[in-house]
């Protein structure tokens, strides 16, 4: 079977280059072309990876026969390109959060559903073996009723976006907003997945440290899920230079019968999950440090990214549902917009579906 023909749309983003090793590792898909208006970025990419280059995605769609488009445009520009691809029968992989607002995301999802094409977004933390073990332990009810959770994601300063030709992410009109849009959606999606539940109410505060950009650097939210579980999120572009890898990451869940906590190393391949449970299965050893060792692989999120891309390709080739869908993207943006509304009003915001 011939591999899927993949076109990349947009290079003014941190991730397109780091996706190339992922596609190279997946025999079911092959990147054949790229569309980018910046001549220097485009020519450097085509020279390095041996793919065809176009100055616009419209030109690329006219001249190429693609199976899958991987879109890395400014969030505000994603809907137009995604809808055009869907109307040509091209499946969609759109960098999170897929749009600058929920309206844009809903436009994309509606177009994909109408055209019968598949759509996914890289919430790749679901693929992490530690996250999957956490999900299994929660589903087995070894924590009892989940009462409170915490998610912390301080992942790099704003300068990395400037250096990575992605300065638009610091402009609210193009990105939608600050770190909750760009980083917080990962943790929002992960807690939705862990709990198999949706957020019903949001309280929030945004804190602006920089004086140059119109986005906030820090966002704090208290999410109440329909089950009553409370999740506290601390999402930020503010992290000390001395912090390992420039990222402060943490996930924790506390239930009536147990606790899980994990500080992902992100760049590392060895991970530790702390589990404490009063469940009968753990009576001989109620406190455990579970060790995980990942295979090292180049590219965005390493082996997690490879598994995600392979899943996407196989779902397209075998006509199976995507593991992470456009509907997941909509739900994450629904929560993010509630965070902004709550921060601006100073009041709790109810989420109605």
Alpha-helical regions (H) of the chain: 16-25, 39-49, 57-63, 78-87, 102-115, 129-139, 159-163, 172-175, 179, 185-195, 303-317, 326-345
Q: At 20, phi and psi to the nearest 5?
A: -60, -40
Q: Does 97 sit behind a cis peptide bond, omega within 30 degrees of 0 on the bond before it?
A: yes
Query: Exposed (0-12), middle (13-18) or buried (19+): which is 151, by Cβ within 10 Å?
Result: buried
Choose among 184, 180, 204, 172: nearest CA to 343: 204
Nearest-angstrom CA–CA distance, 252 and 231: 9
User: Could you tell me the domains of the chain?
Assistant: 4-124+304-314 (3.40.50.720), 130-299+332-350 (3.30.360.10)
Sign, Cα dihedral of 119, 124, 125, 131:
positive
pLDDT of 268: 65
CB 36 within 8 A of CB 12: yes
Taking Cα atoms as reference points, which of 339, 298, 345 lies closest to residue 19? 298
pLDDT tens digit sequence for 124-164: 999 999 999 999 999 999 999 999 999 999 988 899 999 99
Cβ–Cβ < 8 Å for 153, 235: yes
Per-residue burial over 26-51, b = 16 or more CB atoms within 10 Å of its CB, e = otherwise? bebbbbbbbbbeeeebbeebbeebeb
CB distance 226 to 239 below 8 Å: no
Per-residue pLDDT of the chain (353 residues; tens, 9 = 90+): 799 999 999 999 999 999 999 999 999 999 999 999 999 999 999 999 999 999 999 999 999 999 999 999 999 999 999 999 999 999 999 999 999 999 999 999 999 999 999 999 999 999 999 999 999 999 999 999 999 999 999 988 899 999 999 999 999 999 999 999 999 999 999 999 999 999 999 999 999 998 899 999 999 999 999 999 999 999 999 988 888 888 899 999 999 999 999 999 866 678 999 999 999 988 889 999 999 998 889 999 999 999 999 999 999 999 999 999 999 999 999 999 999 999 999 999 999 98
Residue 158 DSSP code: T
């Amino acid at each position: 079977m011939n591999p899927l023909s993949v076109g990349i749309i947009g290079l003014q983003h941190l991730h397109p280059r780091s996706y190339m090793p992922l596609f190279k590792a997946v025999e079911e898909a092959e990147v054949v072309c790229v569309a980018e208006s910046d001549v220097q970025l485009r020519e450097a990419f085509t020279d390095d990876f041996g793919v065809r280059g176009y100055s616009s995605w419209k030109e690329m769609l006219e001249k190429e026969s693609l199976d899958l488009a991987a879109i890395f445009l400014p969030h505000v520009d994603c809907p137009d390109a995604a809808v055009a691809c869907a109307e040509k029968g091209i499946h969609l992989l759109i960098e999170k959060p897929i749009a600058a607002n929920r309206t844009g995301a809903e436009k994309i999802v509606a177009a994909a559903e109408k055209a019968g094409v598949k759509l996914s977004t890289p919430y790749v933390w679901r693929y992490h073996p530690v996250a999957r073990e956490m999900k299994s332990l929660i589903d087995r009810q070894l924590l009892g009723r989940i009462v409170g959770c915490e998610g912390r994601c301080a992942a790099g300063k704003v300068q990395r976006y400037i250096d990575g030709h992605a300065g638009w992410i610091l402009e609210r009109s193009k990105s939608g907003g600050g770190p909750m849009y760009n980083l917080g959606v990962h943790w929002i999606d992960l807690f939705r997945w862990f709990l198999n539940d949706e957020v019903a109410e949001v309280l929030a505060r945004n804190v602006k440290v920089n004086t140059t950009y119109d986005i906030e650097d820090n966002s704090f939210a208290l999410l109440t899920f329909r089950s009553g579980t409370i999740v506290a999120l601390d999402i930020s572009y503010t992290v000390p230079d001395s912090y390992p890898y420039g990222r402060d990451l943490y996930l924790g869940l506390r239930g009536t019968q147990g606790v899980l906590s994990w500080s992902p190393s992100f760049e590392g391949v060895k991970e530790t999950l702390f589990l404490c449970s009063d469940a009968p299965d753990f009576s001989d050893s109620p406190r455990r440090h579970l060790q995980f060792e990942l295979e090292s692989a180049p590219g965005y999120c390493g082996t997690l990214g490879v598994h995600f891309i392979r899943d996407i390709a196989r779902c397209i080739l075998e006509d199976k549902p995507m593991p992470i869908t456009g509907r997941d993207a909509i739900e994450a943006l629904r929560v993010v917009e509630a965070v902004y509304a709550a921060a601006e009003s100073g009041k709790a915001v109810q989420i109605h579906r």
